[in-house]
Structure 1
Amino acid sequence: MKSGKKSEKKSKKTLKKKKLSSNITTIILILIFLVGLSVMLYPTVSNYINQRHQSKAIAAYDEKVSEMKPEDYTKYFEAAEKYNKKLAKNPSAFYNPDEIKGYEKILDISGTGIMGYITIKKLGVELPIYHGTDEGILQIAAGHLKGTSFPVGGDSTHSVISAHRGLPSAKLFTDLDKMEVGDTFTITILNREITYEVDDISIVLPDETDSLQIEDKKDYCTLMTCTPYGINTHRLLVRGHCIGTGEPQHIHVTAEAFQIDPTITASVMGIILLIMLLIRVLIRTRKKGQEGKHLKCNQVFLHLKRGDLIGNNKKTK
């Protein structure tokens, strides 16, 4: 009897150890899976969140513009054109932009720093344009390089719009290297949409700025980002010249009507289904372990009972 009880205790301890080891292994595998899945989905989810932010900012800007009167447009454009003329007469302001005062207030109709937005249909990109190129701006949108012309069109102007590329959290200018001569992009400022056609693509060092200077009687806009991808030792410049000015033709989706990207929906549904599957597997594994435990206990009990019966039979004899 004593040896039977010891054997039963050992069996219980062994079963507990195996069960604990199995559960720990399962939990570790689930955690590894979830971490890997999170890393894989991070760029998609982050880009979706960033695009939603951009869409809301542009929709809010368009709504603000629609509430303005014609005389308001005139006032803002006149201030921007006045700044551009001063810039054309003072080339040193490119390197020392604070020589011309009032930059931050020009074209800032909502107090958010947004002066308009850029649309590159070929790349599927539409970004709000903020005053300046601070790191905080370039992480989420496009920035207007202070010391260059405001992108309102006109002779002797050269605007520079910059954005990051290669960020895991946002697309921005990641695909700017896919632009070719002859492609177009548009800049929307207030009720004015200016279309530019790409006529020059170049790669320069950060301190090579000759190609960003104003040229007499020319209306240029250059898109700038870092290159090579992930190394960022040079600058990719995509320059366009104005081929037309008109009123914006497209209507933006408001923040409330912003649709969730099907990729995000599919990913979330996939995660939920996988988690449910893992939970089911874990429960089934646990049940099997319990069934195995009961089976072994029953076998031990029967073995002990049989031993008692045999012993009793021997005594009877």
Structure 2
Amino acid sequence: MKVRKSNIIVFLLLIISASLLLYPTVSNLWNSMHQTSAVGSYITKTEDLSEEQNQQLYQQAQEYNKKLVGQNLDRFIIDKDKEEEYDQLLQLEGTEIMSIVDIPKINLRLPIYHGTDEAVLQIAIGHIFGTSLPVGGEGTHTVISGHTGLTSSKLFTDIEKLEKGDVFTITTLGHEMTYQVDKITVVLPTELNDLAIDPKEDFVTLQTCTPYGVNTHRLLVRGHRIESGSTERQISSDAVEVSPLISNAIGISIILSFVGILRLNVWIFDKLLCNKHSRKL
């Protein structure tokens, strides 16, 4: 039986449609598992540090932050020497992660990396060079940035849901710091006044592009440091490990879904061929 080109095209279009339909879900699940694994690995490495090593890394970051206080906007300009110094701070062997951000309201936990290169922002959250390193303390203002609206990962897509009074945590070298949202603004990319360091305050700002799909402005969600409540979730390596059973179940479900759609497409294709053949008879 001769197969018409039009039937082949229909079949290929069905396969492509199924692949496009599944891509965001599969990609998001894959990246979520990767991020969870990366966070778990980072926490394990911080637990393996001696107290002396931990304090040394923390103090180096604090000294770096002190040098930023009182500087003008030139602190955002990267040169080779500054970049080399920056890249060595809060650096653990075997991982590029410097910290973790946890936002309970939107069920988000993500690793934070040095800098905001596109390679970082496609998979995680980046720390903006020229802002305080995420170790807290008076005279610090850490700014971290994440993409909105990626099909492959949610990242900071949902921070627009945050309201004043909501809390989030930053965990660096095992030190958990809690921040309460106190200011939400939308600014142009060139407007940096809201990223200023106040010598008497401890701020963290979450930044993403807005409006969705246009990205002409920046959404800034700022929080100030508060006491960590006794009900705050404690972070440990066990808390972020994904059970192999869950991982396997997700993987099998994705495969079965794809196979099901593929079989449906084959069935439709066969029906088309049968109908063509019947008409000829």
**Counterparts of 1:65 and 1:266, CA distance in 2:** 34
Q: Taking every aligned residue pair, what percent have the same amino acid on both sides?
A: 43
TM-score (ref. length: structure 1): 0.77
Deviations 1:242-266 (A, max 9, x none): 1125997133343673833977654
Match of 2:260 among 270, 273, 278: 273
Match of 2:29 among 48, 56, 61: 48
TM-score (ref. length: structure 2): 0.87
Helix, strand or coil for the counterpart of 2:3? helix
**Counterparts of 2:245 and 2:58, CA distance in 1:** 31
Partner of 1:217: 200
Q: Which has the higher helix share?
A: 1
Helix, strand or coil for the counterpart of 1:20? coil
Partner of 1:155: 138
Q: In 2, are the aligned partners of 1:44 and 1:264 still within 8 Å (CA)?
A: no
Q: CA deviation at 1:279?
A: 3.6
Partner of 1:3: none
Deviations 1:161-208 (A, max 9, x none): 001111111111111111111111111101101111000000001110
Give 5+ residue unaligned stretches, structure 2: none
Bigger radius of gyration among the two: 1
Match of 1:257 among 244, 248, 256: 244
Q: In 2, are the aligned partners of 1:188 and 1:248 still within 8 Å (CA)?
A: no
Partner of 1:205: 188
Deviations 1:226-247 (A, max 9, x none): 1110101110000000112599
Indicate how the Cα distance of structure 1 residues 285 and 111 shifts in structure 2: closer, same or farther if over 3 A, else same. closer
**Counterparts of 2:116 and 2:106, CA distance in 1:** 21
Q: In 1, are the aligned partners of 2:11 and 2:266 still within 8 Å (CA)?
A: no
Partner of 1:181: 164
Match of 1:131 among 91, 98, 114: 114
Q: Which letter does structure 2 place at the counterpart of 1:214?
A: I
Q: CA deviation at 1:53?
A: 1.6
Equivalent residue runs for 1:1-317 within 5 Å: 19-21=2-4, 24-98=5-79, 102-245=85-228, 249-250=234-235, 251-254=238-241, 257=244, 259-260=246-247, 265-280=252-267
Q: Which letter does structure 1 place at the counterpart of 2:188?
A: L
Indicate how the Cα distance of structure 1 residues 290 and 173 shifts in structure 2: closer, same or farther if over 3 A, else same. closer
**Counterparts of 2:124 and 2:265, CA distance in 1:** 39
Q: CA deviation at 1:271?
A: 2.7
Q: In 2, are the aligned partners of 1:193 and 1:248 still within 8 Å (CA)?
A: no
**Counterparts of 2:245 and 2:98, CA distance in 1:** 22
Helix, strand or coil for the counterpart of 2:181? strand
Decide which moves more: 52-61 or 28-37: 28-37
Q: In 2, are the aligned partners of 1:118 and 1:185 still within 8 Å (CA)?
A: yes
**Which consecutive aligned stretches of 4+ in structure 1 deviate over 4 angstroms post-superposition?**
97-101, 245-248, 261-267, 280-293
Q: CA deviation at 1:218?
A: 0.3
RMSD over aligned Cα atoms: 2.8
**Counterparts of 2:26 and 2:139, CA distance in 1:** 42
Indicate how the Cα distance of structure 1 residues 257 and 233 shifts in structure 2: closer, same or farther if over 3 A, else same. same
Q: In 1, are the aligned partners of 2:42 and 2:95 still within 8 Å (CA)?
A: no
**Counterparts of 2:102 and 2:214, CA distance in 1:** 26
**Counterparts of 1:69 and 1:176, CA distance in 2:** 35
Helix, strand or coil for the counterpart of 1:238? strand
Indicate how the Cα distance of structure 1 residues 148 and 66 shifts in structure 2: closer, same or farther if over 3 A, else same. same
Indicate how the Cα distance of structure 1 residues 93 and 71 shifts in structure 2: closer, same or farther if over 3 A, else same. farther
Give 5+ residue unaligned stretches, structure 1: 1-15, 297-317
Q: CA deviation at 1:78?
A: 0.4
Q: In 2, are the aligned partners of 1:191 and 1:248 still within 8 Å (CA)?
A: no
| Greater relative contact order, per chain length (Cα 8 Å cut-off, separation 6+) | 2
**Counterparts of 1:280 and 1:252, CA distance in 2:** 44
Q: In 2, are the aligned partners of 1:199 and 1:239 still within 8 Å (CA)?
A: yes
